[in-house]
Amino acid sequence: MAAAAAATGAASSFAVVSHSQRGRRHPTRVSAAAAATTAASSPEAAMAAAAPPVPMMRVAPETLQRQSGYLVRGRGAEGEREWAAKVEAEVGGDAGEGGPGAMEYLTSVLSSKVYDVAIESPLQLATKLSERLGVNLWIKREDLQPVFSFKLRGAYNMMAKLSHEQLEKGVICSSAGNHAQGVALSAQRLGCDAVIVMPVTTPEIKWRSVERLGATVVLKGDSYDEAQSYAKQRCEQEGRTFIPPFDHPDVITGQGTIGMEIVRQLQGPLHAIFVPVGGGGLIAGIAAYVKRVRPEVKIIGVEPSDANAMALSLCHGQRVMLEHVGGFADGVAVKVVGEETFRLCRELVDGVVLVSRDAICASIKDMFEEKRSILEPAGALALAGAEAYCKYYGLKGENVVAITSGANMNFDRLRLVTELADVGRKREAVLATFLPEERGSFKKFAELVGRMNITEFKYRYDCNAKDALVLYSVGIYTDDELRGMVERMESSKLKTVDLTDNDLAKDHLRYFIGGRSEIKDELVYRFIFPERPGALMKFLDAFSPCWNISLFHYRAQGETGANVLVGIQVPQEEFDEFKSRADNLGYEYMSELNNEIYQLLLRDPKMQCR
């Protein structure tokens, strides 16, 4: 418990930091009531705040899981498309359904002013990766931009088009990351005032770097949505221009300049461009340009399998809202893709590849080995997708491009990245084996492991158990070696489970093996705690003293939101009351009661599972 409390961060609610307050250790605080009064002082703002949200289909990311590298296509997009004809017929000229047409995007990209702030980033051959995969893998180094991501292109392109009067009134945006820096730098160049609203959970390093660029930072709300609604209210009140992170033709056009550069930089045959997808601005811009001038080049999106809003929207033929979104690749942790970005993507994008968190970590390591650069998770996403796709489809000898989109890595996250990188590249496997509690069984186990290299080993004696359970990892292996070892164990009656793809095992239980217990009525959940003081107390207030907490495990991983494993004893007849309190708490949570590893490691076999 103490560890969890310490780890819930130091940010505080409703803190306002202004440019003029630079050098202060902590942001000034304003009360929630004061902030609310300001927010409601304009009728338009009040109306905007009260406007009912547009109903949207809510979908869980788990409903679309595909093998890594498999190309998820949109509805009715089976087989190869005749892109040239399609682009011409569907979005050619200026006749797009509701937004600008392909020709308009093409001419806007060609006349874009992004080079006032952005560099033409290099396109480099990743030699080691290319050799390993048997293709020519080119990396488009957007991580080398002045603010270490491509986001300044879109922001500047939109802001450079504002009138003198609009620039005088200033701009505003909400962002917890790279877009904030893009807007701040653009405002500095254009000499206009910028207010950047960030959730109170934003790490100090991020808001400080925005402030350093001369913008006024306002920390407001616990989530991006709250920060955004506050920014929109202020935008109305102060007549500022709102700069959206992805869903605006000018932003999309700015990102599209990357497509123009790739086409110029790589003139030979090109199989595909792999693009990380959050709200879809980057891929929409690249597709709008490239499909017009090189329609044969595939434009392939890459999303984390737990943040797959674009893949799901394409499959459903409409924008959907994710019920929950994985925060590891925070740059692309978006619940709903943009309207205009979706319109373009459903017409122009060839599909989306989904990759695991482990694969992203492995690609961060690959990039480090290749160029000695550290990408942030979203920045390495396209590399992971390109590798998975090439392997899945057995691509050989082709040119492929992956966009390395950002390098604003949260340093604390590196520990998790290094832990998972080997798992992602299948250089480490996580396993559990049952051993009879009898003399000589450990030795027998060691013999069966053979030449495999054990990298981790956890065991705890349970006096009530006939069998002991060991949790361990083995390093550097081939699939055949691993299968061989598991078969040796099984044929010697040592039940063995491969947990390599089980996130619960890797995040929590490999650090937490306390043996199985006879705990009555135990429920087990993963809760996502907001990283702010009081989060733990709010949690305990909701459930305690009604029910006993039987398990609590947290390990800081640098994610947005702390991932906490909780066991709680709730008699069946009180479940409805528990559920209603858990829902009211407002933290995301999911049951892990039926997770195989929980049943294996922590649950007494005599206890009945609900």
Q: Which residues bind ligand PLP (CB under 6 A)?
A: 149, 151, 177-179, 246, 276-282, 331-332, 376, 378-379, 405-406
Minimum CB distance to ligand PLP, residue 194 (Å):
17
Residue nearer to ligand PLP on the CB measure, 122 or 571:
122
Axis crossing angle, helix 281-293 with helix 102-110, rounded to the nearest 10: 100
Minimum CB distance to ligand PLP, residue 442 (Å):
47
Residue nearer to ligand PLP on the CB measure, 277 or 499:
277
Nearest one of 556, 578, 555 to 568, comparing CA atoms:
578
* Amino acid at residue number 446: A
Nearest residue to ligand PLP, scored by beta-carbon proximity: 406
Q: Which residues pair with 431 in a beta bridge?
A: 472, 498
Residue nearer to ligand PLP on the CB measure, 331 or 424:
331
Residue nearer to ligand PLP on the CB measure, 384 or 469:
384
Residue nearer to ligand PLP on the CB measure, 178 or 257:
178
Minimum CB distance to ligand PLP, residue 133 (Å):
22
Annotated catalytic, 405? yes
Contact by Cβ (8 Å): 417, 369: no
Residue nearer to ligand PLP on the CB measure, 178 or 473:
178
Q: In which region does residue 318 sit, left (phi positive, over 0), alpha (psi from -120 to 50) or beta (all else)?
A: beta
* DSSP one-letter code for 162: S
Whether omega for the bond prior to residue 545 falls within 30 degrees of 0, making it cis, is yes
* DSSP one-letter code for 406: B
Residue nearer to ligand PLP on the CB measure, 139 or 449:
139
Given the residues 140, 151, 206, 232, select the one marked as catalytic.
Answer: 151
Contact by Cβ (8 Å): 288, 109: yes
Cα(516)–Cα(484) distance, integer angstroms: 28
Minimum CB distance to ligand PLP, residue 327 (Å):
13
Annotated catalytic, 112? no
Minimum CB distance to ligand PLP, residue 275 (Å):
8
Cα(305)–Cα(526) distance, integer angstroms: 18
Axis crossing angle, helix 339-348 with helix 249-265, rounded to the nearest 10: 40
Minimum CB distance to ligand PLP, residue 550 (Å):
40
Given the residues 108, 186, 405, 473, select the one marked as catalytic.
Answer: 405
Sign of CA dihedral 592, 596, 597, 599: positive
Backbone angles phi, psi at 593, to 5 degrees: -60, -35
- Encoded tokens for 96: 């797009």
Minimum CB distance to ligand PLP, residue 296 (Å):
23
Cα(128)–Cα(369) distance, integer angstroms: 8
Cα(493)–Cα(479) distance, integer angstroms: 21
Alpha carbon 343 to its chain centroid, in Å, reads 22
Residues marked active site are found at 151, 405
